[in-house]
Chain A
């Protein structure tokens, strides 16, 4: 078994790195401390032969020449045999000359032109790691690509399980500088005897030959540079107060990028009222999609009716009627201009073609759909549909042509009317578009109706989260202050708008007068959506239950992370909840995400059935605190440090979880007495 790290940096590239000064001694320390058998030097878009030779001479392990190339918007490691280095350098120089900014990349075509025979190299794309090489690019580079780089033990395990994934590899991607203090334990173990490129390539086509740990396969991964391992499942850290448990968690949290850390007491309530408000706000934000979804259609309605200018419409009708009456009275006095038919001619109204457009789209869907082809074909032939769509499109064009014509004519008529009207004192009939005005009035009536309906308070959605229920209900606004809170805008008063709240059209008119409210948000002020969490008895949850919900919610969300750290969950909860809910949830999530739980509590520590136990201990050696980590499987009688120091597991469990052997026995006796 060999431990390899084929992705590390020794020289900053001008365009892809922040500047750093490479330290060869640090690289040497890294290789020795983590017992690495083979590395590849993979700088961004460059290869420095002189530096490479220096590194090779100094390290005494296999050092392979490589380059990390910006390829098609992703990154690709290209690693060569340790031979014909001048030729490799020339090729890498070509890459370097082509990439002159961070966003530039070379194409597959260019890659092939430069490196000619890709089968001579080991190609490893960023796979579950940004910036990724897209699947279609990987496909085009097959068979030269068999493995892909990932960023965590979780992703590594996922790729191994997924039959369609490439062979995963985990590398450090470190930049070695003088002042670095910790080394990332991200390396891959591979089942080979020698570290030649050929042997590594052969290995990286087989998922059974890559491992996270040299003896434990994928069940374990190395967490600290001293070789300390942890389970890729569920780990429990035990230890007395101030023995370094929280410190250990913090160190891990700092070492990894994508970690969910649920801190001690984080979920404990301090100020109930404040806490409830914060919780309600959080819930509202998290659930806002429910409200968005519920109000989606209403939003469209409001946006549409908001464009209606009722006052203007009324004015137009009035001016039409006034002018009509005047024209009638002046009928006898008509002159040569006002006698012209066009003098009082109304405008053409264009024909709406939205329905036709929708029909064309629907027919197109029927023609193009492949999923339900058989059903469609069994009722109507494609030919008929094609004839239909052509007819519809032609009709659309006809309507469109007519509309263009009437638009052209309207402008002609308006010009003639203007000139005729300016030549006479006779009154002319003011133009009014009754159709649009009537349509708008109908829309407003519908809007009033919909608003009345939507304001009726009711439950709109109910989601179960374990024993809790999130209930979303609509709620009427009860005052101007609530509207203001909803807007989140400081200098806005709803005191004029709110009295109109029960007359939707007038209320909308008032909202339209408020400059600070964007048109797209009017819909939010008609009805509010509130969220409540109920327990299994349909009662509002208590403060304690709120914390429980918080914890479960956070554990569930940890799916998106590479590592979940939970520090003393018992600080906030009772044993029954820990056993029934928390333990089960943690166990469940540990099947996909490595979990580390720090605890003193026997319900968590003992009943959770961990995969691995870690015991932290503080010793004072010559007046100085020395922190030790013992670990082992739960069933092991002995826990060991990396240096081989041993401690009795049974004693640890009783000391940490039951306050010692005598307390345990005493407690057991008390329970027995009660029982009998």
Chain B
């Protein structure tokens, strides 16, 4: 089975450049050319990106000669890099509304359980 390449820190690489083309790793076991990436693939990649184990090969126009691949790879690389600095943003923001209520009721359930 093909595994995503591991980098020197043993972290999984999901975007790579090979033979002048960009590729992305599609689970369970495929490296696919980046011009074939669709929105559902992006969603899967995003979930990987906000997990800890996510690396990308650096964007390099010398290695990546395909122009269309350059466009897609560049955008993905930039955006996922930005995200790296604030991986919890989606979770944090979505938990805002009911945070205290969940704590309150979870605590109540536990207390009831103890009785």
Contact = CB atoms under 8 A, between A and B. Distances in A.
B36 A341 contact: yes
Interface string A344-373: 011110000000000010001001000000
A415 B113 CA distance: 51
B67 A342 contact: no
A341 B42 CA distance: 12
B33 to A, nearest CB: 10
Nearest to B73: A416
Contacts of B67: 336-337, 423
Interface stretch (B6-14, B53-61, B91-99): B91-99
Interface string A297-338: 000000000000000000000000000000000000000110
A673 interface: no
Given A336-B66, A383-B112, A423-B71, A408 B98 contact: no
A390 B38 contact: no
Contacts of B102: 390, 393-394
A342 B98 contact: no
Interface in A368-407: 382-383, 386-387, 389-390, 393-394, 396-398, 400-401, 403-406
A559 interface: no
A397 B108 CA distance: 20
A92 B101 CA distance: 49
A153 B47 CA distance: 75
B43 interface: yes
A113 B99 CA distance: 42
Interface in B49-105: 66-68, 71-72, 75-76, 79, 83, 89-91, 93-95, 97-98, 101-102, 105
A389 B108 CA distance: 12
A342 B94 contact: no
For the residues of B in contact with A, the DSSP-based class is helix
A99 interface: no
B38 A341 contact: yes
Given A341-B36, A409-B43, A409-B46, A393 B94 contact: no
B1 interface: no
Contacts of B90: 401, 404-405, 408
Nearest to A367: B105
* Size class of the A contact interface (CB-based, 8 Å): 35 or more
A412 B37 CA distance: 13
A163 B66 CA distance: 90
Contacts of B3: none
Nearest to A407: B90
Interface in B10-45: 35-39, 42-43
A340 interface: yes
A345 B37 CA distance: 10
Interface string A409-425: 10011011001100100
B98 A406 contact: no
B97 A400 contact: yes
* Size class of the B contact interface (CB-based, 8 Å): 20 to 34
Given A342-B38, A348-B39, A386 B46 contact: no
A456 interface: no
Given A337-B67, A404-B93, A420-B68, A390 B105 contact: yes
Contact of A400 (B37, B94, B109): B94
Contact of B109 (A340, A386, A397, A412): A386
Nearest to A414: B75
B115 to A, nearest CB: 10
A413 B91 contact: no
B68 A413 contact: no
A386 B105 contact: yes
A339 interface: yes
Contact of A423 (B68, B83, B101): B68
B105 A342 contact: no
A403 B35 CA distance: 25
Contacts of A406: 43
Contacts of A408: 46, 79, 83, 90
Contact of A397 (B89, B94, B112): B94
Contacts of A339: 35, 68
A370 B82 CA distance: 49
Contacts of B113: 383
Contacts of B68: 336-337, 339-340, 420, 423
A619 B102 CA distance: 85
A412 B101 contact: no
- Give the most central of B38, B67, B98: most A CB within 10 Å: B98
Contact of B46 (A337, A342, A405): A405
Nearest to A398: B94
Contacts of A367: 105
Contacts of B93: 400-401, 404
B38 A420 contact: no
Contact of A341 (B35, B66, B89, B108): B35
B35 to A, nearest CB: 4
A637 to B, nearest CB: 77
B49 to A, nearest CB: 10
Given A340-B35, A393-B102, A415 B75 contact: yes
A342 B37 contact: yes
A416 B75 contact: yes
Contacts of A340: 35-36, 68, 72
Contacts of B94: 397-398, 400-401, 403-404
Contacts of A416: 71-72, 75-76
Contacts of B38: 341-342, 345
A382 B112 contact: yes
Contacts of A396: 97-98
A341 B37 contact: yes
**Top 5 A-B pairs, shortest CB-CB distance:** A400-B94, A401-B94, A393-B98, A340-B35, A404-B90
26 contacts: A336-B35, A336-B67, A339-B68, A340-B68, A342-B35, A342-B39, A345-B39, A346-B39, A348-B39, A364-B101, A389-B101, A390-B106, A393-B101, A397-B94, A400-B93, A400-B97, A401-B94, A404-B89, A404-B90, A404-B93, A412-B79, A416-B71, A416-B76, A420-B71, A420-B72, A423-B67
Given A336-B35, A382-B108, A416-B76, 9 more contacts: A342-B37, A386-B112, A390-B106, A401-B90, A405-B46, A409-B39, A412-B42, A412-B75, A423-B67
Interface of B: 35-39, 42-43, 46-47, 66-68, 71-72, 75-76, 79, 83, 89-91, 93-95, 97-98, 101-102, 105-106, 108-109, 112-113
